[in-house]
Amino acid sequence: MKRVVITGMGVISPIGNNINDFWKNIVSGKSGANEITKFDANKFKTQFACEVKDFNPEEYIDRREIKKYDLFTQYAIAASDQAIKDAKLHFDTMTDDEKADIGVIWASGNGGIATFEEQLNEFHLGDGTPHFNPYLIPKMIADIAAGVISIRHKLYGPNYATVSACASSNTAIANAFDTIRLGKAKIMIAGGSEAAITMASVGGFNAAHALSKNNENFKTASRPFDKNRDGFVVGEGGGALILEDLESAQKRGAKIYAEIVGSGMASDAYHLTGTSPDGHGAYLGMKKALEEAQIKTDEIDYINAHATSTNIGDLSEITAIKRLFENQPINVTATKSITGHLLGAAGAVESIISILSINNNTIPATINTKTLDEAISESIQIVLEKSLKKEVNYVMNNTFGFGGHTVTTIFKKFIN
């Protein structure tokens, strides 16, 4: 099997639209939450979210082209362009044969939900005559961001989307990892984007009792593992990674951020939206990732937890960690306390955090959590309020999605 490394990263997020700003705000624990500005939320139970700020698509896309793309695709273009530039990939100088070894796997849990919602509203406000935008379908479908990235750079390798709810972009990364390991491509652009702060999305999550309703204290509403947590804070944005065959990366003298050494997928097989209280799916996913990485639990320096700040979900994950790590001390952080929950983009954005933790020997803190749930044992060392400086060699990144999807990836400090 070929070794796979990370040679580029890009991000659009509620706390920064480039890697440097993003990491600075992660380490300082700056909340990305704000009152919703994308629509009038006064009648909604939840009136706040983690919106992307100061995003200008014209920095990445010709003004005449912007109308062709839903916001989730605009985020995908921006994040992937950043990652390509960071990796110093110059596609315009490559032959078609070389570009046949470069592919894209891009994820989104909701795709162009804003476009779909907007078009239906316009239809219902009219006289019933169907006048739909000719770009409706290509703006809406979840696979279109992968296609656009491929078309944009004339990349002829594997190209598709992954949809596994909030595990979607971690699935994309795991699939890209396997694609390169098996020799089916040399370079893969993998990640995910989401732009689901819409009336239907917020209203739907409210109806499912998934969102925090702490409108008076929205900056601190995302509080994973806190005994008083009351749901997640929805976010938006995108994260992109360049995964590359080690031989290819070394041949072109690329900067190597980290190595990806394992992934594990499983299913809770339990409930449409709820996580199994015993965390069996999470346990299996983490276990499989460790086995593939050929390492033991005591080699993991930190877990970037899926922990969204829901009552059952947080404890389900803790139960799985306790079972797998058998009371060995382990540092755990929930960075959704800072970014909010980016849904299908969460896995990619949190993979970037995991990789930057390795590069900076820093474990970010979980913010807003004041009183830990009594069910969390002493062996689970939740990093609270202040980032922790320590040697970080291996990071485990967990993501789980509605439908029972569980995906874990493991990143390692690169050693030649």
Beta carbons within 8 Å of 127's beta carbon, 6+ residues apart: none
Q: CA torsion sign, 148 to 149 to 154 to 159?
A: negative
**Which member of 50, 153, 280, 306 is catalytic?**
306
Residues whose CB falls within 8 Å of the CB of residue 11, separated by 6 or more in sequence, listed in order:
17, 18, 19, 22, 79, 82, 237, 238, 239, 240, 349, 352
Taking a C-beta distance cutoff of 8 angstroms, is the pair 161, 345 a contact?
no
Is 166 a residue of the active site?
yes
Tokens 């404890």 belong to residue: 315
Q: How many helices (H) and strands (E) would you count in the chain?
A: 13, 15
Burial class (CB in 10 A: 0-12, 13-18, 19+), 27: buried
Q: Which helix (H) or strand (E) holds 4?
A: strand 4-12
Contacts of 228 (CB under 8 A, 6+ apart): 370, 371
Q: How far is Cα 360 from Cα 352, in angstroms, rounded to an integer?
A: 12
How many residues comprise the chain? 416
Question: Catalytic pick from 50, 153, 280, 341?
Answer: 341
Q: Determine which one of 153, 166, 280, 405 is catalytic.
A: 166
Q: Are 174 and 407 in contact (CB under 8 A)?
A: yes
* Residue 379 to residue 326: CA distance in whole angstroms: 9
**Cα separation, 19 vs 287, whole angstroms:** 30
**Letter for the amino acid at 96?**
D
Told to judge if 50 belongs to the known catalytic residues of this protein, a careful annotator would answer no
- Give the residue carrying structure tokens 């779909």: 116
Angstrom distance (rounded) from CA 392 to CA 177: 21
Amino acid at 286: M
Give the whole-angstrom CA distance, residue 215 versus residue 342.
Answer: 19
How far apart are the C-alpha atoms of 395 and 403, rounded to whole Å?
25
306 in catalytic set = yes
Strand 159-162 with 48-49, pairing: unpaired
Residues marked as catalytic: 166, 306, 341
